[in-house]
Structure 1
Amino acid sequence: MKKGLMEVMMLLFASMALLAGCASDASGDEKVTIGVTQIVEHPSLDAAFEGFKEALAENGYVEGENVTYDVQIAQGDMNNAQSIANNFVGDKVDLIFANATPSAQSALNATKDIPIIFTSVTDPVGANLVASFDEPGDNITGTSDTHPDAIPQTINFIVDELQPGKIGVIYNSGEQNSTVQVDVIKEVLGDTNVELVPVSVSTSAEVKQAAESLVGRVDAIYIPTDNTVVSALESVIDVAQKEDIPMFAGELDSVEAGAVAGSGFSYKDLGYETGEMAAQVLNGDKEPSDIPVSYPQSLKLVINKDAAEAQGLEIKDEWSDIAEFYEGD
């Protein structure tokens, strides 16, 4: 009896171990597909995606091993963005990473079931992506790329240090994130005698003409975090250098690219924070509705010395008290 009982118990333990091993193998072999929808290619959005992937890799989701990224660029076209989102739903991806406001809006239009984690969104509430920062929604959350003090810091610098009569701004009025920023600029300039001269574009091909239209009409140019305009930033830089019109920007990648100055943060860091959110969702630790929307906590004003010289602006020594200097490689 005892011998028979021991044999049965040994067989039972062996079976349990085999089942446990199979479960462990299944868990280890489980792979996920993340649909990446990005409205255009430009340095800030690309950096955010890199940070996103880095965070996921550090949380065990390694590209080529247990995660596949299906990356689709909409080339600035909302119809393309919607088609991309619809295709992701049809493919039943495990999560959608929406990089920029139009991409996030398209993703939310396409599904209320697949988790959506967004970044590079200026005003997620105004864009009707989330109900509030604290209570985003059933299947969506992410990070905003707008620090409340970013635009006021740069615009006040322009007003106080350059004392311009007029500031031009180039933006795509079809991008909700950009119209919000233009409204903020108007509010900041409300207590000054400086006039804002807005020029709207629909495509990146119109950006250079828009910049040329400001020649002789403004004393400085400000470029918000507008996907359409930033994707054609080089054409604005070209006009600014030829005409000695200092150009300022809403994020630091554009400062590195050739804007005189701007207030901002690292988009890679922002993407990293977004990736950590995605990892929590993929792990099953949290639902998107459990994760509040966040925005960058650090902010700095950076001045590109080479760009200032190229655009006819003399650097003042006292600016080192309020800004960091970028001098290129």
Structure 2
Amino acid sequence: MRRRNFVMLLGGAAVLSLRARAQQSPKMWRIGYLGFGSASSWTSEIEALRSGLRGLGYIEGKNISIEYRWAQQADQTFDLATELVQMNVDVIFAPASTQVEPARRATNRIPIVFAQHADPVGLGDVASLSRPGGNITGMSMLLTELSVKELEILSETFPNAARIGVLWNPTTPSHPTAVRAIVAASEKLGVRVVLAPAGSVAEIQEAFAMMSREQVSGVLVLSSPLYNTHGELLAEYQMKHRLPEIFANKGNVNAGGLISYGADLDDLYRRAAAYIDKIFKGAKPADLPVEQASKYLMVINLKTAKALGVTIPQNVLARADEIIE
């Protein structure tokens, strides 16, 4: 009897030891981050995502790891998405439509979370905002509506403008829809838009040269990972051709652009962390409603305005959330 009790005691101790180890070694969740451009261009947004995850109890190296993959061109995103699928990550974080489209082609099994999708329903990435219905969900930034608003702000800033340039990226899935909305809005505003497609750095240079020849008064730069990544280059062409720019993202104004009006990307990335948390806890993307941006920022760079010799009307200045001097 004593020997049997001893064996039972050893068995119980082994079970307790295994349980203790399980508690000390939580599951290591893996997030595949499908980025575009260089990581240095997205430091604020990346930190916002990481901050959101930390707030939900996820610590890198302890219970999550993030596998970053950065495409330098749009045609590289599918191969990188496929690489993340082959690694069998638990979630693919594909911030915008540029990354969501190739991620969707790469997998219908691994959950995909986006943070700044321009038009998830219109592009067919989700069935509806309330019930996405597939393996994709996240936060939307309403690019089409924002682009029309940016055109209005640029028209207010330059009330005598006869032509306004529109820099758009044919490789960004949401841009054709936004361009159509901008053209329709321009007719109501009584201005002519000059469309300048650019899907690469070389094409950006050609687009600005063309808009300069067309004598546009300003340039509306549609939000795109390519343009967000090359903020300093766009600011350089702005000064070279004397073409004031309006953007959707504050980062472009920090880099030297004139005005931005758009969703607070840091807020969107931080909130996207909640989707990842819910998926880790067993929720299905199909059942997680897409949320829309709720915080919008208007930023004006007066230092740039002075360098361009531009006077920002008082009614536009009064609406700014932040002014860079």
2:178 corresponds to: 181
Amino acid across the alignment from 1:118: F
2:86 corresponds to: 90
Aligned counterpart in structure 2 of residue 236 of structure 1, from 228, 234, 237: 234
Cα offset for 1:36?
Answer: 0.9
Aligned counterpart in structure 1 of residue 50 of structure 2, from 49, 53, 71: 53
Q: Verify the 8 A CA contact 1:56 1:279 in the aligned structure 2.
A: yes
Amino acid across the alignment from 1:256: N
Query: 2:132 & 2:267 partners in 1: Cα distance?
Result: 21
Is 1:324 the equivalent of 2:312?
no
Secondary structure class of the residue paired with 2:292: coil
The worse-fitting range, judged by mean Cα deviation, of 118-127 and 318-327 is 318-327
1:31 corresponds to: 28
Cα distance, 1:17–1:115 mapped onto 2, change above 3 Å: farther
Query: 2:158 & 2:13 partners in 1: Cα distance?
Result: 74
Cα distance, 1:156–1:12 mapped onto 2, change above 3 Å: farther
The worse-fitting range, judged by mean Cα deviation, of 301-310 and 148-157 is 148-157
Amino acid across the alignment from 1:138: G
Deviation track 1:81-133 (CA, whole Å, cap 9, x = no partner) reads 11111122211111111122121111111112111111222111222211111
Aligned counterpart in structure 1 of residue 300 of structure 2, from 303, 306, 315: 303
Cα offset for 1:255?
Answer: 1.8
Q: Verify the 8 A CA contact 1:147 1:297 in the aligned structure 2.
A: no
Q: Which runs of 5+ in 1 are unaligned?
A: none
Deviation track 1:133-189 (CA, whole Å, cap 9, x = no partner) reads 111123211112226753233211222331210110112112112222222222321
Q: Verify the 8 A CA contact 2:183 2:193 in the aligned structure 1.
A: yes
The worse-fitting range, judged by mean Cα deviation, of 256-265 and 232-241 is 232-241
Aligned counterpart in structure 1 of residue 139 of structure 2, from 143, 146, 154: 143
Q: Which runs of 5+ in 2 are unaligned?
A: none
Amino acid across the alignment from 2:290: V
Aligned counterpart in structure 2 of residue 194 of structure 1, from 188, 191, 196: 191
Deviation track 1:218-242 (CA, whole Å, cap 9, x = no partner) reads 1111101022233333333223223
TM-score under structure 2 length normalisation: 0.89
Amino acid across the alignment from 1:190: E
- Please report the RMSD computed on the Cα atoms of aligned residues, expressed in angstroms: 2.6
TM-score under structure 1 length normalisation: 0.88
Is 1:289 the equivalent of 2:286?
yes
Cα distance, 1:20–1:105 mapped onto 2, change above 3 Å: farther
Query: 1:180 & 1:326 partners in 2: Cα distance?
Result: 31
Query: 1:68 & 1:27 partners in 2: Cα distance?
Result: 18
1:265 corresponds to: 263
1:155 corresponds to: 151
Identity %: 24
Q: Verify the 8 A CA contact 2:95 2:115 in the aligned structure 1.
A: yes
Q: Verify the 8 A CA contact 2:71 2:77 in the aligned structure 1.
A: yes
1:64 corresponds to: 61
The worse-fitting range, judged by mean Cα deviation, of 156-165 and 270-279 is 156-165
Query: 1:16 & 1:98 partners in 2: Cα distance?
Result: 46
Query: 2:194 & 2:268 partners in 1: Cα distance?
Result: 31
Cα offset for 1:260?
Answer: 1.2
